[in-house]
Structure 1
């Protein structure tokens, strides 16, 4: 009988109807209370952990905000010299930043030096009117009306470009390319070269069709080119802005021309790429913005009342310099973002050598004075960096700079 009972139980189990639920294990009231108590403890423990994490995150955020606000509002009034190296700059030589080094060049040669005064590379040449163009860590040096462009970066010589025709204007890209406006009898040739001198592309322009190229730029990608042409006839003048694409997009376009605009009664002496997908052009009374990483098109225009006497560029901002009319300062610098919105206005009452942007700051310096200003913020420092400053280089420490004068290289810390 027992065997039959087991068999019947097995058959009944195998034939359980769909939807039937297997009976749950039975708990005594004591076990149920223990289970509820265990769940309450687990929930309480999890709540405590979550609360501690939230408190830690809030405290960390408040501490970060406190120190950030403190940094933004900290004003420096003096500086300490941390390191001094004797270094002589020849009379008439120019000094510019080349990455995290200095470029010193003149009519008889050029060299790259680091913050310790050590020479990284040195080249010699003979030039009457040396021109230099820098993009990131790459520099090109050529003589006006010469036929050679020397290409270097901060580590050494990249190569020489022999154009075979007089050079009137040129610029370089951070990828090691150079674009040059050359002089010929009937046309104005424009060539793109690699740093080693290989011809990548070229096209010819004429005064009759386009005008004369007065400014040009090449994007970091190396295949977008922007050119400002000045066209003058007997009764009027205008500027033609043209963009060329030497990548796949421009292959089926005449002379790779993909777009541009014409500005009547305007001279546009400066055009510059700011990043891979933005370009800005500056006239004497307006700022023009173009957007597009393949076909740049006009995305904004800002008309200004006061004459623009100079312009400077960063990845995020453009600085337009005007003669000040407030009676107290010599210059007013309006700072625009890459969308054409004015973000700040800064005044400067001294001679300036350069204006550049670094980590949300605009830095204006000349031989005697230096102004460090947070964009949309306060003046962080205004004063001297020593006599005869030729160049100022920021470091990865916000209040530390490297300066070069006619006789020394110094690392200083604002206090």
Structure 2
């Protein structure tokens, strides 16, 4: 088709309709599209013919679903230059895609008359070749951004109202209690945060003042006497100063030494033997050779020693002065009961013995009191010096302990009681405290208070007793409770002195006052047998199975044992110059 034919065709299709331009798209015999443009001064009608690669007049479409891009050829009318320029600026150029209209991107570009850009021809060819092989990808639809609603112009910003001094004073006065409570809570939270951030420290070699190593088979035991330490093993006794230096030593051989102490004196006896050695800070005072195998013994603050030994089938009780001389002796038949506990009063005038009778179906105990001097025994017309006897039915009375004012505490598995021995010939029970729980540990605190550790409830339906499980309670000598504390585990160890009470629960050791206030806590890694105060709240003896350490501890903190075993072999010779033979 040449240019003249195009022009004639355009002239035939011109229609004069007012204020409208009609464009007809002729693509096939069946379909056509008509678009009207409003606002044109001239009445122009244009017939748009679709170009096809293989045909001049009618394009061939292989598939209706295939989107083919086609370029529209337009013929321009013979208008004036001014009108042509005006129409070219206002008139959008169109492309037809599958019978739908779209605006061309190049709206402002002018085209030469009756010519098609070679670039557009190339695009037509390329698009048709691509559409022969695959479908055209659908265009992505951009999501419109949702703009926030505009603020209303008639809304004004509210200004903060500043209260007057009078209003502030009134508010504070009305809410004084609440404000104080809030401030107090804030301060407590702050203090607890600061405290918990720093209350856990590691205990290592820096805190160890000195230590002693020994073998596990040495049966080592320690007793603090002021600044000095009694150190006993199966091979002898050492007396150490605060630097760990040996002041004196005593050599002996015992299979399983057991040490008791009171008032600066220490007595050491061997199991299944007849020998007892008594010491003070100067060395050995005297040695006792009992009439039979020693079953139990005691020592008082004067250095007097009371001993129970088995002779044949019966038992014998002997009391010795601080020079080793016999003060008192008596025999007890085994049919009366087996002696479990013994103690001697602080002035040495009275000895008490607890007997347990297993011969009947129900167990029963009794506590016997004797005068040690013959003159006192004659005053009551007693041949053996027996003053009084207290019955403890259905219980095992295993502990008897005198206090400085001649009261005697009797502890059994069911109760504790205090016996008044101060009145001549008139001993009587002052008070008794019955246990609702099984007792796991017991200790006399500085001869002034009693510390009792409770285990499981005797009656499983007793809620109060269940609440007391794994607790420690302190009682004064009048039987009144002075304090208590709760442990995380079963309490199986109690050590006490004038500085406080140390309890052991598994590998955790906690120091308390007798009011139940925690002083410090120590978490051990190794197995610890005992922990004892050393002349201060801030120093303790840590006694393990193979090593004793004198530690500096810090009040109000939780201490965790560091791994100190790595440097032990290197520093042993530097810190410890003395050791027991064969230990």
Give the number of aligned pairs: 341
Q: Residue 329 and residue 89 in structure 1: after superposition, are their counterparts in 2 closer, same or farther (change >3 A)?
A: farther
Aligned partner of residue 521 in structure 2, secondary structure = strand
More contact order relative to length (CA 8 Å, sep ≥ 6) = 1
- In the other structure, the counterpart of 1:381 is 520
Q: State how far apart, in whole Å, the 2-side matches of 1:366 and 1:114 are.
A: 30
Cα displacement (A) at 1:396 = 5.0
Q: State how far apart, in whole Å, the 1-side matches of 2:432 and 2:346 are.
A: 23
350-359 or 126-135, larger mean C-alpha shift: 350-359
Q: State how far apart, in whole Å, the 2-side matches of 1:143 and 1:396 are.
A: 28
1:88 aligns with 2:217: no
1:233 aligns with 2:337: no
1:174 aligns with 2:301: yes
Q: Residue 189 and residue 266 in structure 1: after superposition, are their counterparts in 2 closer, same or farther (change >3 A)?
A: same
Unaligned runs of 5+ in 1: 1-73
- In the other structure, the counterpart of 1:156 is 283
User: Which structure is higher in strand share?
Assistant: 1
* Residue pair 1:394, 1:400 contacting (<8 A) in 2 also: yes
- In the other structure, the counterpart of 2:274 is 147
Q: 2:388 aligns with which of 259, 262, 266?
A: 259
Residues 167-213 of structure 1 deviation map (CA, whole Å, 9 limit, x = unaligned) = 121111121111111222253211111344321110111133x3221
* Residue pair 1:79, 1:414 contacting (<8 A) in 2 also: no
* Residue pair 2:496, 2:532 contacting (<8 A) in 1 also: no
Aligned partner of residue 250 in structure 1, secondary structure = helix
- In the other structure, the counterpart of 2:406 is 277
Q: 2:347 aligns with which of 221, 225, 229?
A: 221
Unaligned runs of 5+ in 2: 1-194, 458-464, 556-583
Q: State how far apart, in whole Å, the 2-side matches of 1:368 and 1:266 are.
A: 31
Larger radius of gyration: 2
Map 1:303-314 onto structure 2 (within 5 A): 303-314=434-445
- In the other structure, the counterpart of 2:311 is 184
* Residue pair 2:532, 2:542 contacting (<8 A) in 1 also: yes
- In the other structure, the counterpart of 2:483 is 344
Residues 3-29 of structure 1 deviation map (CA, whole Å, 9 limit, x = unaligned) = xxxxxxxxxxxxxxxxxxxxxxxxxxx
TM-score by length of 1: 0.73
Map 1:7-406 onto structure 2 (within 5 A): 77-78=200-201, 81=206, 84-92=209-217, 93-100=219-226, 101-185=228-312, 187-208=314-335, 210-247=336-373, 248-253=375-380, 254=382, 255-293=384-422, 295=424, 296-314=427-445, 315-324=447-456, 331-349=470-488, 354-359=493-498, 361-365=500-504, 368-384=507-523, 387-405=526-544, 406=546
Q: State how far apart, in whole Å, the 1-side matches of 2:493 and 2:507 are.
A: 12
* Residue pair 2:539, 2:550 contacting (<8 A) in 1 also: no
Q: State how far apart, in whole Å, the 2-side matches of 1:118 and 1:366 are.
A: 32
